[in-house]
Structure 1
Amino acid sequence: MRTHTIAIATAVFAVTGGAATHAQDKYALKSPSGIAFADFKGYEDWSVVSSARTDEVLKVIVANPAMIAAYKAGAPGNGKPFPEGAKIAKLQWKPKKSTEAPFVVDVPDVFAQAFLMEKDSKRFPKTGGWGYAVFNYDAKSDKFTPDAGSLADCGHTCHVAVKAKDYIFHPYQKR
C-alpha cells in the first residue's frame, strides 16, 4: 500500500512539473457583505433564466429552484415578490469569436465573475430584501476571490431601476 501511495504522489509531482498543487475550495469563501459562496452550492446545475451580453462579457443568469418556481408562478409580474431564499447567479465570461462556426458568433472564453443575489429580508432590509456579492475568477491561478467592493448594497444601486420587478432585471425567458 505504501509503495502504491508513493507512486501516485510521484506521478502527481511529475505531472504538475514538481509544483505542489492545492485545489481551491471556492465554497469556503465569504464576501464582505457576509454572503457565503457555500450558500450557492450547486449553482452550476441551476436552471437558466436568461442571458445577456455587453461589450465586455457574456452573461448567463441562473436561479435556484425556489426562484424558478416563483418565476413559473408569474413573479414578479403577478404582483408578488420573489420568496425568501430565492437566489440568482449571473455567470460572466469574456467573449471570443468562434473559429469553428460557419457564421460570426461570440462564444464564452475565460470565466470572469459570479455575481450573486440572495433574498433574505431580515439580513438585507435596506436593499429591498436582496443581498449582493461578487466573486472574481482568475484563470491563471484558477481561484475565486471575493470582490472587495462587494458590500451588501453593491448591486442595489443598479437594481433600484427595477424595484417594481422586485429588483430583478431578467424575466424568465420563454422556451
Structure 2
Amino acid sequence: MRRIALVSVAVTAVAGVAAYMGSASGQSNGDAAPIYGIKIPEGYRDWRLISVKQLTGKQLTGAGGELKQLRAQLGNDLAIKAFRDGTLPFPDGAIIAALHWNEASSDFDNQALAAGFPGLGLQSSFAGSAVNVQFMVKDSKKYAASGGWGFADFTNGKPGNEALHAKCFSCHQPAKDRDYVFTHYAPTP
C-alpha cells in the first residue's frame, strides 16, 4: 500500500513539474507567429512598465488618414533588470511587449480640465481601441540570424502574416547599437 502511495505521489509530482514547465516558458497555447514561432506570453499584461510613447503621422497601411496611437512597452523581469542595469546585449529570456492603441479623447475630461485650469488650453487623451501587441523575445542561439531576437505581432489574439513578420528585423536594424531595441527605459521620479 505504501508503494502505491509513493508511486501516486511521484506521478503527481512529475505531472506538476511538466505543467509548471509549460507555463514557465511564458508561452500561451494560442497560434504562433510565423517565422519566429512566438506565441503570446501568458500574463504579459502584468509585466512592469518600461516606457510610453505617442506615435503620430501618416497611416502605414495605406488606409489614409492620420495615425494617432498611444503605445506602452512592458517587460518581463529579465528585461526590466536589463533596462535598469543598462545591460547590453539583453540576456536570453528577456521579453519586451509593445501594446498599441488608437488615441482617443474625452470631451468630458477636456471640459473638466478647461474648468479646473482656465486659459491653459489643456487637452486629454487616453488609450482607445486596441490596435495590436508586439513582442521581442531574446534567444541568442535560436534567433541568431535576427540579432538574437524573435519578433511577433498579434491583432485580436491572432498573429500577423509572414510578410509582416519578415519586416521586423530590418525595421530594428537602426537600433543595432542598442541591441535592436528602440525603447528607452523611463525610470520613475
Please, which of 95, 102, 105 is the counterpart of residue 124 of structure 2?
105
Please, which of 161, 177, 180 is the counterpart of residue 164 of structure 1?
177
**Distance in 2 between the 1:84 and 1:150 partners?**
24
Do residues 122 (structure 1) and 141 (structure 2) align? yes
In the TM superposition, residue 33 of structure 1 has moved relative to its aligned partner by 2.2
Q: Which residue of the partner structure matches residue 43 of structure 2?
A: 42
Do residues 31 (structure 1) and 29 (structure 2) align? no
- One-letter amino acid of the structure 2 residue matched with residue 145 of structure 1: K
**Distance in 1 between the 2:73 and 2:164 partners?**
19
Contact in 2 for aligned 1:30/1:37 (Cα 8 Å): yes
Contact in 2 for aligned 1:28/1:36 (Cα 8 Å): no
Moved over 3 A (4+): none
Q: Which residue of the partner structure matches residue 8 of structure 1?
A: none
- One-letter amino acid of the structure 2 residue matched with residue 41 of structure 1: E
The structure having more radius of gyration, on CA atoms, is: 2
**Distance in 2 between the 1:66 and 1:154 partners?**
26
TM-score, normalised with respect to structure 1:
0.73
3-state SS of paired residue (2:83): helix
**Distance in 2 between the 1:98 and 1:157 partners?**
37
Q: Which residue of the partner structure matches residue 66 of structure 1?
A: 78
Contact in 2 for aligned 1:117/1:131 (Cα 8 Å): yes
In angstroms, what is the RMSD of aligned CA positions?
Answer: 1.6
- One-letter amino acid of the structure 2 residue matched with residue 50 of structure 1: S
**Distance in 2 between the 1:122 and 1:105 partners?**
45
Q: Identity over the aligned pairs, expressed in percent?
A: 29
**Distance in 1 between the 2:140 and 2:184 partners?**
21
* Structure 1: runs of 5+ lacking an equivalent: 1-25, 138-143
In the TM superposition, residue 174 of structure 1 has moved relative to its aligned partner by 2.0
In the TM superposition, residue 27 of structure 1 has moved relative to its aligned partner by 4.2
TM-score, normalised with respect to structure 2:
0.68
How many residues align? The count is: 138
Contact in 1 for aligned 2:143/2:150 (Cα 8 Å): yes
Contact in 1 for aligned 2:55/2:70 (Cα 8 Å): yes
* Structure 2: runs of 5+ lacking an equivalent: 1-27, 57-66, 114-121
The Cα offsets for residues 107-152 of structure 1, whole Å up to 9 and x where unpaired, read as: 1110110011100112111110001110012xxxxxx21100343x
Q: Which residue of the partner structure matches residue 54 of structure 1?
A: 55
Contact in 1 for aligned 2:38/2:150 (Cα 8 Å): no
- One-letter amino acid of the structure 2 residue matched with residue 93 of structure 1: W
Contact in 1 for aligned 2:38/2:151 (Cα 8 Å): no
